[in-house]
A and B are shown apart, each in its own frame.
Chain A
Amino acid sequence: MSLLRIEDLSVTYRTSEGDVPAVRGVSLEVEAGTSLGVAGESGSGKSTLAGTVLRLTPKTAAVTGRVLLDDEDVLSMSFGRLRAVRWSSASIVFQGALHSLNPLQRVGRQIGEPIRLHDPTLTRRGVDRRVGGLLSDVGLSARLAQSYPHQLSGGQKQRVMIAMALGCGPQLIVADEPTTALDVMVQAQVLDLLTALVRDLGVGLVVISHDLSVLATTCDRVAVMYAGRVVEQGRAEDVLHRARHPYTRALSAAFPTIGDPAARFAPRGLPGDPPWPGDLPSGCPFHPRCAEAEDRCRTEDVRLRSAPDVPGQQAACVHVGAPGREVAP
């Protein structure tokens, strides 16, 4: 039994301009004590995917498929059960820690809030002790509980967000762009902290980021999303260095290897922009930007296929494997 199992999940936002399919049939799994990275650009559906884990999608969104947290479907839970599950079974570290904290409340009180709500029997002192312990778990001084968010640096705020997510002892943590807008050194500190949680506490971790190289160094497995679908997944190392989907290759080339002569004075991008989810191209949604596209890519909407030469890796590209080797989504 997996800690988190997403089965054929689709999320469609209903807007005044028509239906916008943000996630289109995604299946993923995370075991306890392992980490999964989800890579993608704006509009790829990765943040929507993160939100569905705790059913945080807006009411206007139509959600189909299943999100099994410890074998229990989050999408069909009663609201009371959902409230119990949020924070204590799974929690989210939201994107942009700099804006997710209430500027008028001391951070200790904010970290303590979910703890108080989930265990009303705890005394005030008991909550304070827990908050102090959480702050030291994330490498901050317990004294910082008395600070207001503006008194903290970006890295400290991100640690506070992680402390808050740990508050009720969840088995699963979803971190949405946990290091965007942080400096490299602080990014390294935060990533080290997240990997330590997986290693030492055995939590399952899902990290969402646009930076494939960050994911590849932090996570065991990586899934790459494009236009609402997983287009490649496999072991982190393999996805970064043995990518079989042209989009994944372009993403990894976007962050050059320092010292690689091929990247010197040769920044590599992809022509064009990610497609608008409300107006997806026909066939393979990546074909208008793909240097390897053929005629059939315009019509054939290919699903994930096993890469014959890399065990455990799958990519959604007509060029992967032999035809007829498609695996069920």
Chain B
Amino acid sequence: MKGEVPSLEAVSLTTTFRTRGGSVARAVDGVDLEVGQGEVVALVGESGCGKTTLARTLLGLERPAAGQVLHEGSALRYDARSLKAYRREVQLVLQDPTGSLNPRHTVYQAVAEGLRVHGLGGDEQARVAEALSRVGLRPAERYFLRYPDELSGGQRQRVVIAGALVLEPKVLVADEPVSSLDASVRGEILELLLRLRGELGLSVLVVTHDLGLAWNIADRIAVMYLGRVVESGPTEQVLADPQHPYTQALLSVVPETRHVEPTVLAGEPPDPTRVPSGCRFHPRCPALASGEAEAAGVADDCRSTTLPVLPAEPVHAAACFLSKARQGTLS
């Protein structure tokens, strides 16, 4: 990825919401992230960690309070015309295909809608047919007049992906693309995403809480907690040798890795209107609670020193005082 302009980039991105009580929720709180050309990046975290808000900000659906979104090196502008052009290049695939398809639209209408919105004439039928065959719905003509309720869950998700592909985007942002699908269908859809990356050179950002999915398809992984990326790097390194106690805990509770002693964190991530001081994970951190951080002499830092934002570079890095101390690189 070095030397190449990333397909999609977040630079010190911050997205805030004002709550009814008047306080400010920092849903995305300073994130640097890159998705290289033809790269699959998994953005992983629990509900409420800000991963969906980050994805929406990258898509131009939310305006950042600070920072920038770059597409192929140029900053996203928020006038209607630029946004429309941008949304052709960067397409969203949502979680639940049943909810994202209009039940009264045929497959053809669902896929052709984007072409019409963007005023792309030409041979509409040929483009729709091509997009449908790309996602494995062949012969495409047989699907044209079918309605979503006549399709299985996996076929519906394929239609949703075809609707994104028909605009020939450069980037797909997929928010939990398989979480509502049956187990046996899940692998098929993930395989499709990998194939599209191979055939079309698509860049893919997958937003998910599923580490197994990341292991299946992602080149790189970024773990988010409370609005920040706390660990990122090549998937093999992050999942085989997680540095951040949060990543370690997440990994330990995946059912299939239960040969590791599971670290079940109590409670849920705190509310983004009240981000803890120091390391934002410290109130739930098992390494701080067990005294490991104390023994390494970093406990005070954990509680009160602000951590720098992790750089977007594709090297393995964690925003954790303890892991830094262990590597002996604490500044």
Contacts and interface: CB of A to CB of B under 8 A. Distances in A.
Contact of A259 (B210, B216, B239, B249): B239
Interface in B199-245: 209-213, 215-217, 235-236, 239-240
Interface of B: 46-48, 152-155, 179, 182-191, 194, 209-213, 215-217, 235-236, 239-240, 249-251, 253-258, 262, 264-266, 268
Nearest to B153: A42
Query: Quick one: which of B155, B188, B250 has the most chain A CB within 10 A?
Result: B188
B186 A183 contact: no
Interface string A153-190: 11100000000000000000000000001011111110
B256 A189 contact: no
Contact of A183 (B46, B154, B217, B240): B46
Given A183-B46, A269-B187, A274 B253 contact: no
B183 A154 contact: no
Given A188-B253, A267-B213, A269-B191, 4 more contacts: A189-B266, A211-B255, A213-B256, A258-B251
Contacts of B191: 267, 269
30 contacts: A41-B184, A42-B153, A184-B210, A185-B264, A188-B253, A210-B182, A211-B183, A214-B255, A250-B184, A253-B187, A254-B183, A255-B183, A255-B212, A258-B215, A258-B239, A259-B215, A259-B257, A260-B215, A263-B216, A265-B216, A265-B217, A269-B188, A269-B191, A270-B184, A270-B188, A271-B188, A273-B152, A273-B153, A273-B182, A274-B152
A185 B249 contact: yes
Contact of A184 (B209, B216, B236): B209
A192 interface: yes
Nearest to B136: A271
Contact of B187 (A189, A192, A254, A258): A254
Interface in A287-319: 289
A151 interface: no
A185 B265 contact: yes
Contacts of A267: 186-188, 190-191, 194, 213, 216-217
Nearest to A42: B182
Query: Quick one: which of B154, B256, B268 has the most chain A CB within 10 A?
Result: B256
Query: Quick one: which of B185, B235, B251 has the most chain A CB within 10 A?
Result: B185
Contacts of B210: 184
Contacts of A263: 215-216
A266 B217 CA distance: 7
Interface in A242-273: 250-251, 253-260, 263-271, 273
A212 B183 contact: yes
A257 B265 CA distance: 22
Nearest to B266: A189
A216 interface: yes
B261 to A, nearest CB: 12
Contacts of B182: 41-42, 210, 273-274
B184 A186 contact: no
Query: Quick one: which of A184, A212, A254 has the most chain B CB within 10 A?
Result: A184
Contacts of B257: 257-259
Nearest to A139: B266
A102 interface: no
Contact of A185 (B185, B190, B235, B253): B253
Contacts of B211: 184, 258
A149 to B, nearest CB: 16
Given A154-B47, A265-B194, A269-B190, A258 B254 contact: yes
A181 B180 CA distance: 8
B253 to A, nearest CB: 4
Contacts of A256: 212, 215-216, 256
B202 to A, nearest CB: 15
Nearest to A269: B187
A212 B265 CA distance: 23
Contacts of A147: none
Contacts of B209: 183-184
A100 interface: no
A304 to B, nearest CB: 21
A217 interface: yes
A183 B255 contact: no
Contacts of A42: 153, 182
The 4 A-B residue pairs with the shortest CB-CB distance in the complex, in nearest-first order? A269-B187, A267-B190, A269-B188, A188-B253
Query: Quick one: which of B152, B153, B187, B236 has the most chain A CB within 10 A?
Result: B187
Interface string A50-70: 000000000000000000000
B298 to A, nearest CB: 24
A267 B217 CA distance: 7
Query: Quick one: which of B184, B190, B239 has the most chain A CB within 10 A?
Result: B184
Nearest to B214: A258
Query: Quick one: which of B152, B153, B216 has the most chain A CB within 10 A?
Result: B216
Contacts of A184: 46, 209-211, 250, 253-254
Contacts of B189: 269
B208 to A, nearest CB: 10
